[in-house]
Amino acid sequence: MEQKMYKKILCHVVVFFMSVTLVYAGKYQEAPMLKRLVDQGKLPPVEERLPDNPWVVGSGAIISAEWLDFKVGKYSDGKLAITADVAPRSYQIAIGATNFLIAPDQSTSPDKVKGALAEWVKWNDDFSIYTIKIRPGLRWSDGEPVSTEDVRFVFEDIYGNKELDIPCGSKRRSLYTQMDPRKPCGKLNIIDKYTFSITFSEPYGYFLSEITTWIQDYMQIIQPSHFLKKYHAKYTDISKLNKMAKKNGVEDWKQLFRLKETNHFEYCCANDPNLIDVPVLYPYVLVETADEYMKIMRNPYFVAVDPAGNQLPYIDGSIIYGIQDKEALVMKLISGEVDFSNSDFMKLGDMPTYVQNAERGGYNVLITGSINGPPTLFVNQDYEYDKPNSQWQKLIKDPNKSFTRALALAINSEDINNALYFNMYEMPKITAAEYNVEKANKLLDEAGMSKKDRAGYRTYPDGSEFMATIVTGNMSPDLIDITVMMQNYFDAVGLNINTKMLTGKILRARARNNEFKLKVIWHDQPIWYSGISRDYDVCMKGDYSCQTMKYYESQGKEGYKPPPHMVELYDINAKRMSVPPESAEGAKLFSELLQWFTKGNAAIWPIGKIKVPNIFKKNMKNIPKENYPYNLGISSSSLIWYFD
Write a three-state SS string for 341-398: ECCCCCCHHHHHHHHHCHHHHCEEEEEECCCCEEEEEEECCCCCCCCCCCHHHHHHCC
| Per-residue confidence (pLDDT) for residue 17, from 0 to 100 | 39
Does residue 5 surpass a pLDDT of 90?
no
Lowest mean pLDDT among 12-16, 26-30, 31-35, 95-99: 12-16
Does residue 94 surpass a pLDDT of 60?
no
Q: What is the pTM of this model?
A: 0.92
CATH number of the CATH domain containing 556: 3.10.105.10
| Per-residue confidence (pLDDT) for residue 428, from 0 to 100 | 86
CA terminus-to-terminus distance, the chain: 52
Distance in angstroms (rounded) separating the CA atoms of residues 379 and 600: 10
Instruction: Kindly state the average pLDDT of the residues 455-478.
Output: 94
Instruction: Kindly state the average pLDDT of the residues 581-596.
Output: 97
What residues pair up with 621 in beta bridges, in sequence order?
642
Instruction: Kindly state the average pLDDT of the residues 49-63.
Output: 96
Does residue 487 surpass a pLDDT of 90?
yes
Whether residue 442 lies inside any domain: the answer is yes
Whether residue 487 lies inside any domain: the answer is yes
Whether residue 417 lies inside any domain: the answer is yes
Instruction: Kindly state the average pLDDT of the residues 561-584.
Output: 96
Split at pLDDT 50, 70, 90, the class of 86 is confident
Distance in angstroms (rounded) separating the CA atoms of residues 637 and 644: 17
Q: Where are the alpha helices (DSSP H) in 503-638?
A: 504-512, 546-553, 564-577, 584-598, 631-635
Alpha-carbon dihedral of residues 14, 15, 16, 20, nearest 10 degrees?
A: 180
Whether residue 323 lies inside any domain: the answer is no
Whether residue 388 lies inside any domain: the answer is yes
How many separate domains does the chain show?
Answer: 1
Does residue 1 surpass a pLDDT of 50?
no
Whether residue 433 lies inside any domain: the answer is yes
Does residue 298 surpass a pLDDT of 90?
yes
Distance in angstroms (rounded) separating the CA atoms of residues 211 and 209: 6
Residue 620, SS3 per DSSP: strand
Instruction: Kindly state the average pLDDT of the residues 409-438.
Output: 92
Q: What is the pLDDT of residues 500-532, one digit of tens each?
A: 999 888 999 999 999 999 999 999 999 999 999
Q: Which domain holds residue 552?
A: 373-604
Q: What is the pLDDT of residues 396-415, one digit of tens each?
A: 999 999 999 999 999 999 99
Whether residue 244 lies inside any domain: the answer is no
Whether residue 8 lies inside any domain: the answer is no
| Per-residue confidence (pLDDT) for residue 19, from 0 to 100 | 33
